[in-house]
Amino acid sequence: MLSETLARLDSAVRPLMMHLPARTAISIYSSMRPRFLHRFTSEVPPTYTPPLTQAQTLWGINFRAPIFNAAGMFKNGEAYYTVASQGAGAYLAGTTTALARMGNEKKGIKHPFAPYPHSGAASNWLGLPNRSHATVATILSRLTKTDGCPIGASVSSDPTQSGIEALQGLVEGMNYYLQANVDFIELNESCPNVPAHGHEIRTDELDAGLLERLEYISTKFIKTQQKNIPVIVKFSNDTDSGLVHAIVDVLTTLGFSGVNFGNTSTQYARYRNAINQSDVAAFDYFTKTFGGGLSGAFLKASSLELAAKAVQCIPTSTAQEFHVVRTGGVETAEDITASRTAGIALCQWYTGYFEQFARNGHGVYKHLFA
């Protein structure tokens, strides 16, 4: 299919493209990414069903595989049939917000994105562009689900709202998704690309704004909804591991159903040491001009460490079933095995998914479970 050919070609020329002046390369990639995605999301490949050994029931929901796309890949509810046919273990739409957002633009570059092809990594500073909770919930409500490929929605409080307005907008959005018959909700508490988002939790105590949001959602959504759909919370891969215990404690106490470690990193100085020399110019230009979030291979160790620690912190008796999700640097069957061994129930992938798509096309999940 065309998107497979495009991805293969791109993967071949990408290392050369990144030798162009950094601004030029980033400008080209930022404008090509949505075009590629548009093509990709319109394709429905022949159906592949993962082996039954990969399936598990979590929160009473059948996941036919332990891995699926991370949030931000299909911001507006696109491509369910594409990934369901590929064999994904679930589908995650969003992140959406109460009001539609255009996303970030700077120096003439809309939705800045840079691949680091020699390092298996990327940067993005998209700024949560999306069509709003209400619109995306309507799109999801019209989908016909494939068995074993449940639908999740990633939500965030709206960065342009504050106080009670932001909280109400968030819970209203969660209710739209409940009515749209989604199977689970992921609360994004960790986007580095919008102002006032709780991206880094590095101090020795949990942020007061975060606690207020979690308590509000617990009271106004989790404990009042009839269907009991799981709500998991996604934190940054930069989270101080010393806080994982407190996070799991608060989430289980408030009735949340899981935690995800996690989102992109802003530890530019730390990961600059890990970047391949051929990607340094683009890395420096991107992080100095936009900042943004780092994804991909950089995060493989931190996501495993944080998620594995979270598993250890789950109290032996919780009122509700609680599971840990790992996101960051997941790209191979070995990563899934390492996660499973650590007791991590589910993995999500983004950067690694597209690396594998360039190699294996729509057979991306088939290849993983071969």
Ligand X SMILES: Cc1cc2nc3c(=O)[nH]c(=O)nc-3n(C[C@H](O)[C@H](O)[C@H](O)COP(=O)(O)O)c2cc1C
Q: Which residues bind ligand X (CB under 6 A)?
A: 70-72, 75, 95, 113, 122, 124, 126, 128, 154, 188, 191, 234, 263-264, 295-296, 299, 327-330, 349-352
**To which H or E segment does residue 11 belong?**
helix 2-17
* Cβ distance to ligand X smaller for residue 71 or 275: 71
Exposure string over 83-94, b if 16+ CB within 10 A, otherwise e: bbbbbbbbbbbb
Within a 13 Å sphere around the CA of 222, how many CA atoms are in the beta-carbon half? 25
What is the spatial distance between Cα 357 and Cα 367, in angstroms, rounded to a whole number?
Answer: 10
Considering the complex, what minimum distance in angstroms separates the CB of residue 154 from ligand X? Answer: 5
Nearer CB in complex with ligand X: 59/350: 350
Closer to ligand X at the Cβ: 62 or 340? 340
Whole-number Å distance between alpha carbons of 32 and 35: 5
User: How many Cα atoms occupy the beta-carbon half-sphere of 72 within 13 Å?
Assistant: 30
Kindly state the smallest distance separating residue 226's Cβ from ligand X, in Å: 27
Of the pair 72, 150, the CB lying nearest ligand X is at 72
Report the DSSP beta bridge partners of residue 236.
Answer: 263
Rounded to a whole number of angstroms, the minimum distance from the CB of residue 341 to ligand X is 19
84 in Cβ contact with 244 (< 8 Å)? no
In the bound state, the residue with its beta carbon closest to ligand X is 72
Which two three-digit tokens encode residue 264? Answer: 């992109």
Backbone phi, psi, residue 357, to 5°: -65, -40
C-alpha distances out from residue 181 to 15, 152, 233, Å? 43, 10, 19
Comparing CB distances to ligand X, the nearer of 86 and 263 is 263
Of 49 and 258, CB closest to ligand X? 258
Residue 79 CB, nearest distance to ligand X (Å)?
A: 14
Query: How would you classify the pairing of strands 323-327 and 258-263?
Result: parallel
Smallest gap from residue 322 Cβ to ligand X (A): 19
Closest distance of CB 237 from ligand X, Å: 7
